[in-house]
Amino acid sequence: MNEEVLVEETDEELNPAEDYLRLDRFPHIWCSGCGIGTVVRSFIEALQKSKVDLDKVCVVSGIGCTGRVAGYINLDSFHSTHGRAVPFAVGLKLGNPDLKVVVFSGDGDIFGIGGNHFIHTARRNMDIAVICVNNFNYAMTGGQVAATTPIRANLSTAPYGNFEYPFNLPYLAEASGATYVARWTSLHLRRVTKSMQEALTRRGFSFIEVITPCVTLYARRNRLGDGLNLLRYYYDNSEIEHGADTRTLDIDYQDKITVGKFVDKEKPTFLDCMNNYLSEVIGDEYRPYGVK
Amino acid sequence: MKKTKADPKGVLTGAHYLDGDYAIAEGGLAAGCRFFAGYPITPSTETAERFVERIPYVGGVFIQMEDELASITALIGAAWAGKKAMTVTSGPGFSLMMENLGLACMMEVPLVIANVQRGGPSTGLPTYVGQQDMMQAKWGSHGDYEIIALSPDSPQECFDLTVDAFNLSETYRVPVLLMTDECVGHMYEKVVIPPADEIEVVERKWYDGPKDEYLPYKPDEDLVPFMIKAGDGYRFHTTGLTHDERGYPVINAECQNVCVPHLVEKIRQNADKIIRFEEEETDGADVVVVSYGITSRVAIPAVQKAREVGIKVGTLRLITVWPFPEKRIKELAGKIKAFVVPEINYGQVVYEVERCAYGQAPAIHVPHCGGWVHDPEDIFKAIKGAVK
């Protein structure tokens, strides 16, 4: 192999998303076979395709494996505390309504410790997007049972298997007031990208659940094989059903996963409501906020 | 540090009859606070009520959050978006805020939290006074950090010190706590709000150098790093993890040994500029009464009575509680027979006085577990006992 070819190969190996990543922080911490990186790749593609002003996009994460996303994305990015990514995002958005604020965090972070923040922010139809990478367990701490763990799945704090009912996240999001709700797996790359694009360009509270493999903990403890085996499971068991009734979207252990876009509706956001209402009741003396 | 005049939109110039809680809201508005996230809790709620009533005419946001965890976290987000932000709470809410008070210290975010203290522990006495969160103000969040805490003794000072709290917070990129109490919070007195052009406000230390050279945690000469806003194209990162000057997490002892001393030293080395207290008749005194908040006013008749019976007694009222006026306490300790420290708790600031006295003079505590203020007679007895 001559030198010229080597140089050419190196060029080809440049990460096509390098402008969007903090490559000076690589290698990242995620295990091989983990789905988080794939979801990040979709997010970057969504940023490219949606043509949003990147200077105005903020990414907020909490704590956990997915909590590390903020650290790798080369935008204004905030690695907050466990469960608090959503209220942090609320502060950013209300502090400067020109910002496009995206929460990128895990199921334990957003729905375990942070569940209360999620439901209230959805209720207000706050104009932010929440991307939840759901790997069915607390992975950063070594694979503990989560609020999303299917019944019978084995984890370190459910060594005989989980017997608690898990959340049905799209149902919870819709019931709380989210105006955009989608669920995919990390196998559905193009569709994840499309949902993210929609979330980046619409107004209101958007929620996207992406089910991903946790090879090192969830899969190993449950003898489900490697990343490829899990993608095969998604391939064989995912059913796309746009507009499905979110009440029907429970996930049983290694059973069918209904994916799709379930909710997409327009409704005034928190700031719309605040400005419209106060303008109406106060009149000309009201100083509308965040309106150009 | 760039000083400007207050934005007249937020300044309700004139003489008012206000309680301390309302005065805190007015102080925040005068200082330029345009973001308030809070959760109702007695005896602090009036501050939020006042702010939300006023803000539609000033221009800004009030949001009642789902809890105090969310309130303080939203403040941090809003501060990164460029806003001056505040919240108000009391004991139980203050406890919930401790988690993200640590995040604000770690991210070096300016914000102001007023704690209208009530009796504790736990739900305690929601409607009655306490001064039992003074050590929590200093140590409440885990890990090492330094913080600034002020203690007003009147509605007027609630206004004045809230403005000062914002100015200190912006100057040092640190959360500032306004540690008032139920008595001061619910006390109505005359509050004079000066014209906007007489209120000095500190502008955030904005970075204006080349974008690609910006380091969010590179200390400036005064140890305080320059700040920028989200959305200005810096594409910066910030984290609650131990981090380097770029704001990137670095999980090792070497980085910890730079990051944490920085958080501590930027306050300790500027302590002389931050610390304020009020002294009366300490020259030649045998006893010095050290107090703060409502208790400093309750101590007045006790001090007067002691002077009437011939005891040489001086007073030192803490305006800044943290950082603590260590040097002055040490100086006084060498000259007097004893400190008397009344406070509405079972021993908090008294231990700091004792520490700073370095064994030169005892610090005699006058405890009260809350629900009511001291009987001045108890303070008088302690002063009398101190000179025996």
Which chain B residue's Cα is nearest to A55?
A: B233
**Other C-beta atoms within 10 Å of A182: how many?**
28
Give Cα B139 to chain centroid, integer Å: 13
* Residue A184 belongs to some domain of the structure: yes
The closest of B62, B46, B54 to B9, measured between CA atoms, is: B54
Q: Hey, what's the torsion of the CAs at A93, A99, A102, A108, to 10 degrees?
A: -30
- To which residue do tokens 């410790």 refer? A113
The closest of B113, B219, B210 to B172, measured between CA atoms, is: B219
Q: Per mean pLDDT, which range of A24-28, A190-194, B59-63, B281-285 is the poorest?
A: A24-28
- In the predicted model, is pLDDT for residue B375 greater than 80? yes
Are the beta carbons of A75 and B235 closer than 8 angstroms? yes
Q: What is the pLDDT of residue A291?
A: 86
Following DSSP, what letter does each residue of B185-252 receive, concatenated? HH-EEEEEEPPGGG-EEEEP-B--S-GGG--TT---TTSPPPB--TTSS---EEESS-B-TTS-B--S
The closest CB to that of B240, out of A25, A80, A91, belongs to A80
Give chain A's count of helices (H) and strands (E).
Answer: 11, 10
Are the beta carbons of A64 and A110 closer than 8 angstroms? no
Residue B15 to residue A272: CA distance in whole angstroms: 36
How far is the alpha carbon of A85 from chain B, nearest alpha carbon, in Å?
8
Residues of chain A with Cβ-Cβ distance to B207 below 8 Å are none
* Residue A18 belongs to some domain of the structure: no
A-interface mutation test, from B62, B204, B237, most A Cβ less than 10 A away: B237
Residue B245 to residue B216: CA distance in whole angstroms: 6
Are the beta carbons of A32 and A215 closer than 8 angstroms? yes
Q: Answer whether A25 sits within 8 Å of B58, measured CB to CB.
A: no
Residues of chain A with Cβ-Cβ distance to B58 below 8 Å are 287
* Residue A278 belongs to some domain of the structure: no
Residue B347 to residue B46: CA distance in whole angstroms: 29
* Residue A285 belongs to some domain of the structure: no
CATH superfamily name and code, B2-203: Thiamin diphosphate (ThDP)-binding fold, Pyr/PP domains (3.40.50.970)
Q: Answer whether A79 sits within 8 Å of B240, measured CB to CB.
A: yes
Which listed CATH number (3.20.20.70, 3.40.50.920, 2.40.440.10, 3.30.460.80) goes with B280-386?
3.40.50.920
Residues of chain B with Cβ-Cβ distance to A55 below 8 Å are 231-233, 235
pLDDT digits over A56-77, tens only?
Answer: 999 999 999 999 999 999 999 9
* Residue A4 belongs to some domain of the structure: no
Q: Answer whether B80 sits within 8 Å of A71, measured CB to CB.
A: no
Q: Is the ipTM of this complex over 0.90?
A: yes
pLDDT digits over B131-170, tens only?
Answer: 999 999 999 999 999 999 999 999 999 999 999 999 999 9
How far is the alpha carbon of A148 from chain B, nearest alpha carbon, in Å?
23
Which chain B residue's Cα is nearest to A123?
A: B66
Which chain B residue's Cα is nearest to A74?
A: B235
The closest of B28, B194, B182, B161 to B91, measured between CA atoms, is: B182
Residue B180 to residue B155: CA distance in whole angstroms: 10
Type of residue found at A218: Y
Range 6-25 of A in CB contact (< 8 A) with B = 22, 24-25
Residues in chain A predicted with pLDDT less than 50, given as ranges, are 1-7
How far is the alpha carbon of B179 from chain A, nearest alpha carbon, in Å?
24
Q: What is the pLDDT of residue A188?
A: 97
Residues of chain B with Cβ-Cβ distance to A24 below 8 Å are 248
List the structure tokens of A108. 């334990």
The closest CB to that of B56, out of A25, A88, A278, belongs to A278
* Residue A144 belongs to some domain of the structure: yes
For chain A, the domain total comes to: 1
Q: What is the pLDDT of residue A10?
A: 56
Residues of chain A with Cβ-Cβ distance to B63 below 8 Å are 90, 94, 270
Q: Please, which pLDDT band fits residue B284 given cuts at 50, 70 and 90?
A: very high
- Taking CA atoms, B70 is separated from A85, B52, B93, in Å, by 9, 18, 11
The closest CB to that of B67, out of A56, A99, A116, belongs to A116
- In the predicted model, is pLDDT for residue B79 greater than 50? yes
Q: Answer whether A71 sits within 8 Å of B103, measured CB to CB.
A: no
Q: What is the pLDDT of residue A15?
A: 77
pLDDT digits over B330-371, tens only?
Answer: 999 999 999 999 999 999 999 999 999 999 999 999 999 999
Q: What is the residue range of A166's domain?
A: 34-267
Q: What is the pLDDT of residue A3?
A: 46
* Residue A181 belongs to some domain of the structure: yes
Q: Answer whether B235 sits within 8 Å of A75, measured CB to CB.
A: yes
- Looking up residue A76, the CATH number of its domain turns out to be 3.40.50.970
Q: Answer whether A80 sits within 8 Å of B66, measured CB to CB.
A: no
Average pLDDT, chain B: 98
Return the exposure string of B272-299: e unless at least 16 CB atoms fall within 10 Å of the residue's CB, then b. eebbebeeeebeebbbbbbbbbbbbbbb
pLDDT digits over B113-135, tens only?
Answer: 999 999 999 999 999 999 999 99
pTM for the model stands at 0.97
* Residue A7 belongs to some domain of the structure: no
CATH 3.40.50.970 region(s) of chain B?
2-203
pLDDT digits over B183-231, tens only?
Answer: 999 999 999 999 999 999 999 999 999 999 999 999 999 999 999 999 9
Q: Answer whether A99 sits within 8 Å of B236, measured CB to CB.
A: no
A-interface mutation test, from B51, B86, B239, most A Cβ less than 10 A away: B239
CATH 3.40.50.920 region(s) of chain B?
280-386
